[in-house]
Chain A
Amino acid sequence: MGNPNSGKTSLFNQLTGLQQKVGNFPGVTVEKKVGKIKLTNEINIDLVDFPGTYSFYPTAADEKLVVQSIVDIDYPDYPQGFLYVADSTKLDKHLLLLTQIRDLGIPVVLALNMSDLADQGKVEIDTAKLSEKLGVPVVRVSSRTGSGVTELKELLLQMYRGALPMPKANSSFYRISPEESKLATALEADFPRHNNYQRILIGHHYEWLPFLDQERKASVAEKVEQTKFNSLQLQVRETMERFDHFTPIVRSVVTEPGSRSGLSEKLDNILTNKVFGPLIFFVLMLFIFQAIFLWAGYPMDMIEAIFGHATSLVKNVLPQGWLSGLIADGLLAGLGGILVFIPQIAILFFLISLLEEVGYMARAAFMFDRLMQVFGLNGRSVVALISGGACAIPAVMSTRTISNWKERLITILVTPFISCSARIPVYTALIAFAVPQKTYLGGVLNAQGLAFMGLYLLGIAAALLAALVFKWILRSTDSSFLMLELPEYRLPVMRNVGLTVWEKVKSFTLEAGKIILIISLVLWILSSYGPGQKMETARAEARQTAQVENLDETATADLIAARQIEASYAGHIGKFLEPAIEPLGFDWKIGIALVTSFAAREVFVGTMATIYSIGSQEDEFSIQQRMAKEVNPKTGEKVYNRATSWSLLLFYVFAMQCMSTLAVVKRETNSWKWPTIQFFFMTGLAYLSSLVVYQVLS
């Protein structure tokens, strides 16, 4: 545990490396990182990276989790020992939480982080004296260079073996007041296994503590009433007294020979400047946007080429039949459709975690707080909205740092409007049909690039407007805070950035990959088989037509493929939907893609690949070329004309086509109400705007 910006996660990464598992704390979506540390050949311990917090008096959901896990003795993550991380250069601010942890009666080790900065002669700390005065073992570490980690592990081993002295409760950093003492005694019967400090904390927080049922809450409330326990007043008193006790200790052990460089302040003169600040922010965003397209191009082409080769290899090596079809058109088409995004996702998460790591995100939150408040959001929403450009799921989860429920809810509801990386392939596939390949100003501006940017801006505009509407509808009495620490700028630790990228790419490939793979397989089955004899009939009819019209071999095969898919189960689903989506300019094949891509937007492209490759004679892997050839049999016109393509593009900008996001919103808001509302207003808006655009353009 430790304060925000203490380098806690960085030390966690240093200690556990790739031995990490990311999941959720039981019952909440607060992200939980658990890592294994090997202390000896036989002894491995689990280390949990708790969210950063300043004290046991939380307001935001992630801080509340910390309190929950230290007062609920039966909680699965109830700690057996603490590793407390404090920033050596901010020791005068970082020890409040440590003195609170001491009072829990659980052993604790203090790691003084960033000793590399301290070693540069900026701060000197007498660790032996600090350890003696605090009654806690102290070790200097650098999460950046890894120095001190061996000594830290040695201390953790001693803690594991029970060799560390237990912090003495009577050497407490604050004296329990009569009210608190009365309450602790009154709660003894209700909480016999807790210590007095834990009972007092329950008295402060019982209203929201999830492990207390209504009956126990009522019992605590009654005792709080009886003992005239004034939570806010006592909090302030406790905090004051703790600071009063440890500040002299810090003063006596820390010497600061040189003055600080103040580099962060100097950088902020420009980076948070009234004019340059926002300007630099937009340039950075533009750069991220460009990088995704420029850098991802080559690896994406490579992945497509590899899958193209693999597909033709399978078709050539395996005898023609259901197995070859299943592997080439179902499995490989679906898998290629997923893996091709990895470069874009990796680049996006790389750049975003880089901004986070150097300390820029907090500045963005500071600069845009006022603007965000206009839309009912919080400065911290900027972080979620930017992350939404990568993926709405981590973005929605990142809102847990917003303590005001209304601001948090609005951020959750509108974040999916921001074009995420899953929309990129859909946009890429369709934009070529919507906008001609033209350049202006001597090749500087590209018409398709501009259209791309337009789609992103449209998403941002939709997010802000929707936020305004929700601000107007929703009522809240919670007070809202900014109160944000601006960490010192520092060079990024590439291990941290690398681990984030690795973890996100891995979870995308495994989690999203699983869904997409299953859908591709189901889709392949649905489009390869049909009810009754319909498939056979369709094939025979197509053969006849081909003979009558005297078609060559390829044209015959394509005709058979087209007729068969129409007769398949998937074709029936698409046909069923067609009346509803015809006014938008969509045919039944697009209808199939709309249904399947509800699982995840990128499935759209995979579906197109599967639908158009089944039965097709060509080994060509490019979906765009296949889509370009698609002709409407009724009108004889190209299916992907300008009107349909724009209509489909707008549909994907607005529609809530992502099952996983809805699931996360359900968990975050703890009800089906909000994801349901979100689905209907987003998809409703998508339907209306597609309708208007198609009717105007066609």
Chain B
Amino acid sequence: MSHFRNPQIASKLMAMGIMPGSSIRMIRKAPFGGGCYIKVDNLLIALRESEALSIILK
């Protein structure tokens, strides 16, 4: 991960441990769309697409 696009979402995701430098893997999309199931280091996290889009990858 490189950086965040949206500071408000950044502050929340960072508290959960999603930081610049974390390794992020997209696992799957939600059954009805709109959501992503991602793995950040060893943490499994569900994000909305809009939230996921604020994470900029290297």
Chain A residues with a Cβ under 8 A of chain B: 54-55, 57, 59, 89-90, 92-94, 96, 232-233, 235-236, 239-240, 243, 260, 264-265, 268, 272-275, 277-278, 362, 365-371, 373, 379, 479, 481-488
Contact = CB atoms under 8 A, between A and B. Distances in A.
Counting chain A CB atoms within 10 Å of each CB, the highest count among B7, B15, B42, B48 belongs to B15
B57 interface: no
Given A243-B19, A483-B12, A483-B51, 9 more contacts: A57-B12, A235-B11, A236-B10, A243-B14, A265-B27, A367-B32, A483-B48, A484-B45, A484-B46
B15 A54 contact: yes
A81 B55 CA distance: 37
21 contacts: A54-B15, A55-B15, A59-B12, A93-B43, A96-B17, A232-B8, A235-B11, A239-B11, A240-B19, A243-B17, A265-B44, A268-B37, A273-B31, A366-B30, A369-B30, A369-B35, A369-B48, A379-B46, A479-B8, A484-B46, A486-B44
Contacts of A482: 35, 46-48, 51
A370 B36 CA distance: 11
B11 A485 contact: no
A508 B46 CA distance: 34
A361 B17 CA distance: 22
A483 B30 contact: no
Given A232-B7, A482-B46, A485-B44, A366 B35 contact: yes
B40 to A, nearest CB: 9
Contact of A92 (B8, B15, B41, B44): B41
Contacts of A373: 34
Contact of B7 (A93, A236, A275): A236
Contacts of B17: 54, 90, 92-94, 96, 243
Q: What 6 pairs between A and B have smallest CB-CB spacing?
A: A370-B34, A93-B17, A366-B46, A54-B15, A55-B15, A486-B44
A64 to B, nearest CB: 14
Contact of B44 (A55, A239, A264): A264
Given A55-B15, A240-B14, A483 B47 contact: yes
B19 to A, nearest CB: 6
Which of A59, A365, A486, A488 is the most central at the interface, judged by chain B CB atoms within 10 Å of its CB?
A486
B46 A90 contact: no
Nearest to B43: A93
A438 B41 CA distance: 57
A281 to B, nearest CB: 9
B11 to A, nearest CB: 5
Contacts of A479: 8
Contacts of A240: 14, 19
Contacts of A488: 44
Contacts of A273: 28, 31
Contacts of A369: 30, 34-35, 46, 48
Given A268-B37, A275-B31, A483-B13, A260 B51 contact: no
B42 A90 contact: yes
A233 B7 contact: yes
A367 B7 CA distance: 26
B14 A371 contact: no
Interface string B47-58: 110010000000
B48 A278 contact: no
B37 A272 contact: yes
> Of residues A90, A268, A278, A485, which shows the largest number of chain B Cβ atoms within 10 Å of its Cβ?
A485
A368 B44 CA distance: 17
Contacts of B33: 370
Contacts of A233: 7
B16 interface: yes
A236 B14 CA distance: 8
A96 B19 CA distance: 12
Given A232-B8, A485-B44, A93 B31 contact: no
A94 B10 CA distance: 17
A279 to B, nearest CB: 9
A278 B35 CA distance: 14
Contact of A54 (B16, B30, B51): B16
Q: Which of A55, A275, A369 is the most central at the interface, judged by chain B CB atoms within 10 Å of its CB?
A: A369
Nearest to A234: B11
A367 B30 contact: yes
A366 to B, nearest CB: 4
A93 B16 contact: yes
Contacts of A264: 44
Contacts of A485: 16, 43-46
A365 B16 contact: no
Contact of A236 (B11, B27, B29, B31): B11
B32 A368 contact: yes
Nearest to B45: A485
Contact of A260 (B31, B35, B42): B42
A310 B34 CA distance: 58
A278 B30 CA distance: 10
Nearest to B28: A272
Nearest to A479: B8
Nearest to A63: B15
A160 B48 CA distance: 44
